[in-house]
Amino acid sequence: MKRLSITARVTLLYTLFMVLLAGVALGFLFHAGAQSARQDTLNRMQRMVEDSRQEIEAEDGILDFDRDLESFDDGVYLSVYDTAGIPLFGLVPREFDNSAVFADKELRTVESYGRSWYLYDEQITVEEYGTLWVRSVTAADAVDATLGRLQHAALLVLPVFVVLAAVSGYLVTRRAFGPVRQITRTAREIGAGNDLSRRIGLTGRKDEIYTLAAEFDAMFARLEEAFAREQQFTDDASHELRTPTAVILSQSEYALANTHPNDETRAALETIHTQAEGMAALLAQLLLLARADKGRQPIQWEPVDLSELAAMVAETEAEQAAVHDITVQTDLEPGVTVEGDETLLMRLLINLTENAIRYGRPGGHVRLTLHRRENEAVGTVEDDGIGIAAEDREKIWQRFWQADPARSGGGAGLGLAMVRWIAGAHGGSVTVQSTPGVGSTFTFAIPCQKNQPV
């Protein structure tokens, strides 16, 4: 039951409660009905006997039975006997053994020919005649048979009631949990699209769910404001730092090219220049991601020969890989063309390849493949390096996160975050499969035709 949705669980509990309530109500009604039916039958038996006093007369010792005296009424038989038990008037059921001894004003149940009978006798005195016995008889199982038919009909109606209870319970529960589904849908859309401007927007009621929705909207507003401030800070900081970084680069380049420093000074200048280059690259990535977060990063859509681009990147990165004793291999289907931004797609390939080289093992290889699959260009970058632990596979897409900082080679942990954004901006995706100690395989898929970002 834990795997069922809340709607299903509430519907099930509601249905069980309604069925239980109906069962108890039907049981009570049948019990009360049975008692009422039996009592009504016994009352009619007594009433017919009592009424017979007015309908039996005698003149000169001869009995006279009035025409209004009925010997049968709705299953109840009436008969009259003298003191010796000889029948004088009326009827008895064919299956009833009429030899039962008389008992004045006593309601009894007797068995006869395998059936149960209700029996009531009363002794009356008729003027100018004497004493008589009046007996009323009815079949006990006739009352039970009527109740049985009612019970059978109820059992036939009960499944219909169960279905109606389940359907009505589901509709009521579904309507009641409609706001919860709207909250869930909005939260999922915000998570999928990173659009913190979305709001749940439930209004018009004051119950707990609507209060919860209002609190969520207020939280989303605070998050949007905080995220906007963070984006603005990153954007502003990147802009402000680009100028001093450019100055450091140009001045260190000028000093190296136009002066004759001693060896120690030259080494210091080269270190400054190298670090300034790394800082400039970092600022460029931060600025790109900041613009992407704000939706201001332009994408130049044009046909791009991804096969040619991948070959160019593989050839360029092969020199860096050789330094680490790593071989770059390729398996590229020719003529795989996509519509996208050539610069960004090149950055995607470079980041994936450099990441594979950085975390590869000496003497190993990096394999770059590309082929067309239906309307997509599907590529992989595979290495046989240290791999990624299962608990870290989602963290690698976070900005500034590094699995092994000692092997980052000066990277800032922004490369894979850029890869994921570039793939999404082209309507594609990127995934990873990895086994620690064996290696990792990054797979990207880019639509061949311009597509909406995912």
Do residues 386 and 406 lie in contact, with contact meaning Cβ atoms separated by under 8 Å?
no
Find, among 312, 309, 373, the residue nearest to 341 by Cα: 309
Task: Answer whether residue 445 shows pLDDT above 90.
Answer: yes
Quote the tokens at residue 281.
């690259």
Q: Which residues pair with 124 in a beta bridge?
A: 132
Would you state the pLDDT for residue 447? 93
Residue 42 CB coordination number (10 Å): 17
Residue 58 or 68, more confident: 58
Mean pLDDT for all residues in the chain: 81
Would you state the pLDDT for residue 123? 92
Query: In the structure, what pLDDT confidence band is assigned to residue 299 with cuts at 50, 70 and 90?
Result: confident
Would you state the pLDDT for residue 271? 84
Mean pLDDT along residues 264-273: 82
Task: Answer whether residue 240 shows pLDDT above 70.
Answer: no
- Per-residue model confidence as pLDDT tens digits over 354-385: 999 988 889 999 999 999 998 899 999 999 98
What is the rounded distance in angstroms from the CA atom of residue 167 to the CA atom of residue 11?
Answer: 8
Task: Answer whether residue 66 shows pLDDT above 70.
Answer: yes
Quote the tokens at residue 49.
């006997």
Domains plus CATH for the chain?
6-168 (3.30.450), 187-297 (1.10.287.130), 302-447 (3.30.565.10)
Find, among 383, 390, 417, 382, the residue nearest to 402 by Cα: 417
Helical spans, DSSP H, in 131-201 = 140-176, 178-193
What are the distances in angstroms from CA 359 to CA 19, 392, 440?
64, 14, 9
Task: Answer whether residue 272 shows pLDDT above 60.
Answer: yes
Q: Picking from 174-178, 335-339, 408-412, which range would have the lowest pLDDT averaged per residue?
A: 408-412
